[in-house]
Structure 1
C-alpha cells in the first residue's frame, strides 16, 4: 500500500517508431546512430511555386498494409501514424490488455496540428465545388487534434485518462510528462503516450515559408539542416510518430514486463516573450531544465546526454545554447546532439521520437550524432561535446530531452537507466 503523498516510480516498457529514418524502432535507431539523413525532394505535392521543395518524408508507408480500405478512410495520416507506432510499442511491451484493468490504462497523446491534410482537402474541395457544401462525414473527426488519443483508446478498449496535449513543437514531450505525472500520482497504472504529425502538405510548407522558418537550401537537401552552425538557414520539416508505454514500477513488475528505462523528471514552462521566437537568453528553457532536474533529484553534472531542440533556427539555436550554458556551465563532458539534423523537425511529434532517442542512448550507451554541422557558433566552441558527425560510445545513465514550441511552450524531460 502506498503511503499518502508517496509518488509512484514510472518506467518505460515499450517503444514504437514511424519516422523518416525508418518505419519501425530498430530501423529508426540504426539509421540515427549511423548518421543517415532523412531529407529529400517532397513527393506529396507539386512544389514548383514553393520556396522550399524538400522535407523528411516517411518512405514506403502504405496505409493498406495496416488498415482495411474502409478503416483507412476514417483516419487522417497523423492518426494512421499514431496507430502504427502504438501497435509496435504495445507488441514491444508484451501487453495483453485483457489481463489488465482497462479502467486504469490511459492515453495521453501529443500533436501540434492534428489532421491538417484533412482540413486542407476539405477546404480545397469546397472552394472548387461552386460553394456546394459536400463535406465528407468523416471530415471533422479526421481533423480534430484529440482524435488520435480517442482512436487509440477505442482500438484497445482503454477507459482511463484520455486527452491530447497541444503545445506546438513541445506537444509530445508535454504529453510524456503529463503521462508521467498521472502515473506518479496513482491515477493510472499504465499510459500510452507519444505524439504524431503529418504536416508535409501545401498549407504547412507554405505557412512556414511565410514565417521564414524553413530552410530553402533546395540544392543540398540532405545536408540542409545544420543545427548550431553559423551557416544554418532554418529547419527541415519532418513527419511521423513515436509511441512510449509508461507504467508504474510496481505494475510493470507484477505483470513481468521488461523494464527498458525510467522517467524521473519533467519541467514545463513558458518563455512569455514572443509569438514565434524564443527568449534571447533562453529564460523559459533554462527554467524547464532546472525544474526537471529538481524533480529528478539530481544535479546538472549528472546528465550524460542532452537531446536538444536544435532545429537550425538562426535565433532559436543561440537561445537554447545560452540556456544550456546557464544550467550546465562549461561542461565538455556533456554530450549533446541535435537529431533533427537527420529526422527533420516532426513538429508536435518531435518530442516523442527524441525521447525514444534518449531512451535508446541509455540502453545502448551510445549518443547519436549531429550531422551536417561543421562548426559551432564561435561563442560556444568547446563548451560542450556536440557529437559532430559520428555517434559516440559512452556510459549514459541520465538523458535529458528539450522541446520548444511557438507561443513560448517549453518542455524538458529526464530519463534514467533503470536499477
Structure 2
C-alpha cells in the first residue's frame, strides 16, 4: 500500500523530501517550488504517479490504484522538554538599553534616524543613520576591556547580561546551575568592523609590527558568543552564525534546536552589529543600497512607500534567553512568551537581489509554520523585514500573500522605519519588538506611509499605533546571499 505524509497549507500540498513507497521501493516526491500541487510526478518500480489538485493519487502501471491524500491539522509541541519559552530579553538600541523605553518610543512613532557625527561624513553621499549615542557599559564591562573592545562586542555583552538579568540568571544564580547546559549563539553580519579597519590601517601606514594583538580576536564574528560565555561562565553549545541581515533569526532557530534535541536547557541567542563607521557606510554606498535623503533623514526609511529609495543603516544588539518550558517551570522563571518554531531557506538566486516572485521567502514562511505546528489562519501579525528597498519590500509582500490567502485580519509593520536596518542585529531587535507587541497588545506604526504601493493590501499600521490582540506572530529577516529566516512567537499558555 503506497503511503506518504502531506501538509495542507494555503499554498496547496507541499512535499519536501517525503519518502513514497510503491511495490516495496522508495523514492522522493519531487515538487516544483511552492505552487499548488497540480502536476507532481515521480516514478517507482515502473509506476508513474501524478498528484492532482483533487488530492487524489492516480497511478498508471502494472497495478493502477487511487489513494486519497490525508491532510492532518498542524499540531503544536506539547512536550515540556521541547516547548521553548522566552524568559529574558536584552537590547542595545538607538533608543537606549531599556526595553520598555525602546518599545514606548516605537509606539510613539519617534524616529531614531539622525545625521552621523561619529566620524566626518561630510564627503559621503549618505550622511545619516540609526547611530547609537550615549551608550554606557557601566556595570557590565570593566574600564580596561571597555576601551579595547569593538562596539559590536560591547553591545553584545551589555544586551546579553541584561537579558540574563531579566531571566533572573544573575552571576550568583548561575554559579549554582549546571552551566554546561546553558549555551550562547550570538551572530553578527559584519563582526568587529572597527577593529578590522583599524588593523588594516595600521598595516598599510606603519607595517605589520604595529598591528595590535587584539586585531584578529576582536574582528572575527564568533567573538560575541565567546566573550559573553567567558564573562558569564556558560559552557554549553557556543558559536556564531553569520548570514548577513538574517543572522539573528538563524541564531534563534539554531538555539531552539539545541534545546529540542536535549543538548541544552537554556540558550542565549541573538545578533549584534556596529557598522556605522566609514568602512561600513562607504561599503553600502558602493552597493547602492542606501537611501540618500540627507536633507530629511527621519523621512528616509519608508517601507512599502512608492517614494522609497533604499534602506537606512542602523546598529545595536537584540538577545533572547530561550529555555525549555520544563526547566523554566522548575526554577520558577517568569515566562514572557513562547517560541513556536522557525525555518531557514535560500533563494539561490542573486548575491543582493531577492527573487521577485518571493518563492524562497514563501517557502521559508511555510516551513516555519510547519515547524511551529501553526496553520496560516492562526497568524495575525507580521513583523516584516521591510528594509525600504525597491525590490525587497514587494518581494516580501508577494511571498506573504502566497502563504496567507486571507489577510483581512492581519497587521504588518516595519520596525526599520524608525530605527534603521540593524543588519545582523535586525532580527534580534525585531524579535523583541514582536514579543512586546504580544505582551502589550499594541503595534507600533510604520512611519512615512504617505504613498503606499497598490500591491500592499495588508494593513501596515500606517503612521499611528494600533491596538491588536496578537494570536500568533511571525518575524521575518532576509540577508544578502539569499538567506531567508522566519521565527514564530505566540503568547504563552500553560
TM-score by length of 2: 0.82
Q: 1:329 Cα deviation (Å)?
A: 2.4
| Residue in structure 1 matched with residue 221 of structure 2 by the alignment | 145
Contact 1:330 1:384 in 2 (8 A): no
Q: Which runs of 5+ in 1 are unaligned?
A: none
- 2:478 is aligned with 1:401: no
**1:123 Cα deviation (Å)?**
1.1
Confirm or deny that 1:60 pairs with 2:137: no
> What's the RMSD between the two structures over aligned residues?
1.5
Range moving further from structure 2, 131-140 or 156-165:
131-140
- State the match for 2:157 in structure 1: 83
Higher helix residue share: 1
Match of 1:8 among 82, 87, 108: 82
1:391 equivalent in structure 2: 465
Distance in 2 separating the partners of 1:375 and 1:324: 20
Structure 2 residue corresponding to 1:45, chosen from 119, 122, 127: 119
Residues 21, 37 of structure 1: 8 Å contact kept: no
Measured after TM superposition, the shift of residue 64 of structure 1 is 5.4
> Is 2:81–2:326's contact at 8 Å kept on the other side of the alignment?
no
Higher relative contact order (CA 8 A, sep 6+): 1
Please report how far the alpha carbon of residue 349 of structure 1 lies from its aligned counterpart in structure 2 after TM superposition: 0.6
The one of 180, 186, 189 aligned to 1:103: 180
2:345 to 269, 275, 280: 269
Give 1:325 shift: 0.9
| Preserved CA contact (<8 Å) 2:140 2:161 | no
| Number of aligned positions between the proteins | 413
Farther off after superposition, 24-33 or 352-361: 24-33
Partner of residue 414, structure 1: 488
CA contact (8 A) 2:471 2:491 kept: yes
Contact conserved, 1:64 with 1:72, CA < 8 A, in 2? no
Larger C-alpha radius of gyration, 1 or 2? 2
1 CA distance for matches of 2:115 and 2:189?
23
Equivalences for 1:267-416 in 2 at 5 Å? 267-380=343-456, 383-416=457-490
- 3-state secondary structure, aligned to 2:318: strand
Distance 1:202 1:22 in 2: 23
Structure 2 unmatched ranges of 5 or more: 1-78
> How far is 1:324 from its partner?
0.8
Of 114-123 and 370-379, the range deviating more from structure 2: 370-379
- Deviation, 1:396, is 0.8
Hey, what does 2:265 align to over in structure 1?
189
Stretches (4+) displaced over 3 A: 62-66
Check if 1:227 corresponds to 2:227.
no
